[in-house]
Amino acid sequence: MALWGCLFLGQLAGLLFLPFIACGEVHIHHVDHHTQMMESDGCDWFLGSWVHDYSYPLYDASDCPFIGTGFDCLKNGRPDEDYLKYRWQPSQCDLPRFNGKEFLERLRGKRILFVGDSLSFNQWKSLTCMLHSAVPSSNYTFTETKAGGKFSFQEYASSVAIKKNGFLVDVVVDKKIGRILKLDSISSGDQWLGFDVLVFNSFHWWTHTGRYRTWDYFQLGDELIKEMDRVEAYKIAMATWAKWVDENINPSKTRVFFQGVSAVHVMGSEWGEPGAKQCIGQTEPVKGSVYPGGRLPAEDALRSIIRGMKNPVFLLDITLLTQLRKDGHPSVYAGQGKALVDCSHWCLAGVPDSWNELLYAALFGEANRFLRS
């Protein structure tokens, strides 16, 4: 398989965006923990735990023709199924249950674009399955290439598309020097214009080393740099992305999300199991609402960038909820035999479905009404 917040008040088609919170009046304020936080009696969607719910999963993977080999863990021989029976539960409020038909009704005539790496593909594939299962008889078109894909419903005149872009900033090839990762340059942004909802993501490619590294030099201004602190490079690049959003996106027409940093599980000591062989054989989440391994530096870098933006961006702060799901990865069931152990992507159905439940809540929850029925 190729390695592929913050709430705002804005208007889209003249309709007000607000967060869904099931427990009282909504307030918005700036805090250190989240760029902007959905608060109602202290409620935060992204603080919670995984609870058993036997009404899950939201769809049957065998009925979804879009998943592909890498994410279809049951088809690839995973013997346990309990990982499918968990729902993300915020500590002090409830999320609305995902309703795919309502999603499409309110998205009628609108377009969503995911831009990012393989974790964006994970979320995009999840959403295509969630929507297809809601209206299985509705006519659709589905295309997928190495560069992206598009899922469209003719009945609703709507689409959910994706473009592969693991860094968001430019990578260029110089015949003499090699591949250059330009931290302060975005030339592909025109491809992101004209959509009603944008969901960006970038982080995992920044951690690659050895043969998985897809650049030879960083460039900042006129300076070429062979190596630098990866989090610092990431922060510079995300500041470039933020500047592009502030200068090119009209928040009255387009709502912008950023998929937060998704956790990997390769060191068992992080979850109190030092003898674990990566995520192999994990069958249940970490219990409770605290991950023993602590926070990731990239989390704070991303929050600091989004906090300083002029345009509002909603951070889908998925780090904690993914940290707690050491059981949710393909592991040795990624479709390429036991030689490949995938502890960074996620089985489908599975964890990325919760990301789309959060996206749904942010767009269409009871207090939001992105589009009126």
Query: What are the φ/ψ torsions at residue 153 (nearest 5 degrees)?
Result: -110, 115
> Catalytic: which of 327, 345, 353, 354?
345
Residue by residue, DSSP assigns 269-322 as GGGT-TT-BTTTT--SPPPSS--TT---HHHHHHHHHHHT-SS--EEE--HHHH
34 counts as catalytic: no
29 counts as catalytic: no
> Catalytic: which of 44, 317, 342, 353?
342
DSSP-assigned letter for residue 352: H
Give, rounded to a whole angstrom, the gap between the first and last alpha carbons of the chain.
39
Residue by residue, DSSP assigns 32-74 as SSSSSEEESTT--TTSEEEEE-TT--SS-GGG-TTS-TTT-TT
Structure token pair of residue 43: 């409620």
Contact (Cβ atoms closer than 8 angstroms) between residue 119 and residue 259: yes
Distance CA 200, CA 198 (A): 6
Quickly tell me which residue has 């005149």 as its tokens.
157
Structure token pair of residue 326: 């050491």
329 counts as catalytic: no
Could you give the angle at which helices 118-134 and 351-364 cross, rounded to 10 degrees?
70
SS3 state of residue 105 = helix
Give residues with Cβ within 8 angstroms of 95, minimum separation 6: 20, 22, 45, 88, 357, 358, 361, 365
Contact (Cβ atoms closer than 8 angstroms) between residue 35 and residue 7: no
> Catalytic: which of 40, 44, 49, 118?
118
204 alpha-carbon distance from chain centroid: 12
Distance CA 83, CA 11 (A): 38
User: Catalytic residue positions?
Assistant: 118, 342, 345
